[in-house]
Amino acid sequence: MSDYVPIACVAHERLEFAVLKRRRLHLVCLVAGDRVEIEVMPLDVYTREGAEWMRARNDDGQEMTLRLDTILDFREIQVT
């Protein structure tokens, strides 16, 4: 049994929209129990093994996979 806690549908839809529209995101998330803030380009949102995940790329080109319930907050980065 998974310990995954589903996120709100509205938040899930916003993440999917960011993937489709190629919108960069500022994330506040838990990594190994620590709160971190990162900026990423979301690449995919998907379900696997009873949890929801996001694949993203940071500014250094490194790809990462984040479980959606580790994302505490996020916002779109406005292009100026």
Please give the pLDDT value at position 1.
Answer: 40
Q: Are 65 and 42 in contact (CB under 8 A)?
A: no
CA dihedral 61, 67, 69, 71 (to 10 degrees): -10
Q: What is the pLDDT of residues 20-71, one digit of tens each?
A: 999 999 999 998 899 999 999 999 999 999 999 999 999 999 999 999 999 9
pTM to 2 decimals?
0.90
Q: What is the pLDDT of residue 22?
A: 96
Q: Is pLDDT above 70 for 73?
A: yes
Higher pLDDT, 52 or 80: 52
One of 1.25.40.10, 3.40.50.1000, 3.40.190.10, 2.30.30.100 is the CATH number of 9-76, namely 2.30.30.100
Domain ranges of the chain: 9-76
- The whole-number average pLDDT for the span 4-21 is 96
Q: Residue 27: enclosing H or E segment and its boundaries?
A: strand 25-31
d(CA 2, CA 21): 31
